[in-house]
Structure 1
């Protein structure tokens, strides 16, 4: 006979307003969610946007986990309740040493607030990282030209690259803490994430969509701003809903404990193929990539904030600022 869960799990999602945070909140609250019924707490650095399904959250906190005192003050009283930590938070800087310092500090502050008490209930930590694990700090100009990434398809047991990487630092923190503080963990390495959120720096699909809308509004050609290799070669993506389901599965499956998992949709595409789709969806003219045509999209978009404001107003869209919802530097 089925029995009620004697200790209903309590999840803390740090980075709850991001693409995976939204999907994870909704997935945990489904009646069919593994290990449930779940109580769900959420954390982000800013108040919840109006579009967020706030009714799905049992508690919500907005504070900066980089602040040790504030983090301890808010989370320590919850250490006897929270059973699962889902770490989706991310601070992005060009220099990888800064990424290591800031992201490590945030994660350590949260873990140190939830685990010291003898009444701590934390049993599992889910850590989301990405394929930069296999590629190295590709956005850091001081080392990017020296990188020799692993060949795809990426495998979870590939050795670490000999470069500083904040993903490595976070994994080491979780592994060391789990050994001394008696909780298990799982690592989830995503590809390019697609999902719904206005609070995600790496929301590539939203970035391309905004770019297409601006090109249409101003009658600009919808030019691809990557390189020939990325235009012609295969890529994959990770759907936020799929990531959420994998993370819930890992928290409730004994054989998944203390393991790392890649998580992609499994199908592949070329940007040339996707660019045609975007051109059709947004009714802009498809432009064939020409590597002789020098085009800096970051520079092109830096003065388009007012154009986006007009598009938002004219179409009655949720009010956003261009710099808050696009990541042209990361998608170049």
Structure 2
């Protein structure tokens, strides 16, 4: 039976990498977004607004996916509004698709805020989990839009009879432009500015992050797990952590990143140096750098998401992820973290996003 994928959020880091892998594996793949990704060969674009059921009904009228991959979310001012908007997007989509009776599996990508709490209470005293975080850890007694998204998937699965999987990456490393949470590209932009101006490449985070163990998730390994869970019996109706499969310390990795760009690395000095503040006045400078090197994206804010990098690197505890569950069930893919960053930097350079 033909596998027909609907990748929701195909213009983001996770969705675009997933779409490429699905197409490589021979899936007929649709990419849904408000502004569809047209840069991936053989990706069938679907323009729709998840908050508008009429828009969805029109866009999906002739599409009957067997597998739905939910890789998008919308940031709002409060967690209550995050819950309302992001649960509504999933409910609208699955309600529109319900009548088609075509869905076999729905995969939802959330993240470690499942364990660390929402942005309003992110990794603060009273909400800190025991690490490494494990899938069986109970939900926090806090409002969290990830929980609301999960509940929408569970309700639709009970109604329509499809299987599901939940995927919880740590920081996702991969190429995307205009993405709200993009540490890899943010650090590439920061290092580029440092090299151009002679400023030091200063670690922006906490002592706990500098000295503690951490991990990240390559967008390519996340894509592999999404496909694995959606096509293997062992992956169905389960929640999975997903990281590269190794741990590191930023006090080791930071120098490696600095060496790649040829800039001076400066580590944690007892004070958190906000990257958002560091880059706050650099939009005109980035436009000059883009013009000087003929780069494709002169808008700093479409490449760098310093607020999110600050959030990740300023946490007061070391954060790492247990990968035992999916390994025991057969998902054995591994990714070297240095190569995650270096491969991304090479891609950004090849595509003229950094000099």
Output the TM-score relative to the length of structure 2: 0.83
SS in 1 for 2:265: coil
Match 2:196 to one of 217, 223, 239: 217
Report the counterpart of residue 317 of structure 2 in structure 1: none
SS in 2 for 1:186: strand
Structure 2 CA distance for aligned equivalents of residues 303 and 297 of structure 1: 11
Question: Does residue 1:135 correspond to 2:116, yes or no?
Answer: yes
Structure 2 CA distance for aligned equivalents of residues 274 and 67 of structure 1: 44
Report matched runs for 1:1-332 at 5 Å.
Answer: 7-30=1-24, 33=25, 37-48=26-37, 52-53=39-40, 55-57=41-43, 59-78=44-63, 81-115=64-98, 117=99, 119-137=100-118, 139-140=119-120, 145=124, 147-292=126-271, 295-332=273-310
| 2:109–2:166 CA contact under 8 A, matched in 1 | yes
- Over 3 Å off, 4+ runs: 143-147
Q: Between Structure 1 and Structure 2, how many residues are aligned?
A: 310
What is the deviation of 1:300?
2.6
SS in 2 for 1:56: coil
Return 5+ residue gaps in structure 1 as ranges: 1-6
Structure 2 CA distance for aligned equivalents of residues 210 and 48 of structure 1: 22
SS in 2 for 1:307: helix
| Cα shift readout 1:248-299 (whole Å, capped 9, x = no counterpart) | 111111222111111111111112212111211111111132114x633212
SS in 2 for 1:319: coil
SS in 2 for 1:122: coil
What is the deviation of 1:158?
0.8
Structure 2 CA distance for aligned equivalents of residues 227 and 288 of structure 1: 10
| Cα shift readout 1:175-206 (whole Å, capped 9, x = no counterpart) | 11100111111001101111121132211011
SS in 2 for 1:29: helix
Distance 1:267 1:164, change over 3 A: same
| 1:18–1:197 CA contact under 8 A, matched in 2 | yes
Return 5+ residue gaps in structure 2 as ranges: 311-355
Structure 1 CA distance for aligned equivalents of residues 257 and 235 of structure 2: 37
| 1:126–1:188 CA contact under 8 A, matched in 2 | yes
Structure 1 CA distance for aligned equivalents of residues 177 and 187 of structure 2: 13
Output the TM-score relative to the length of structure 1: 0.88
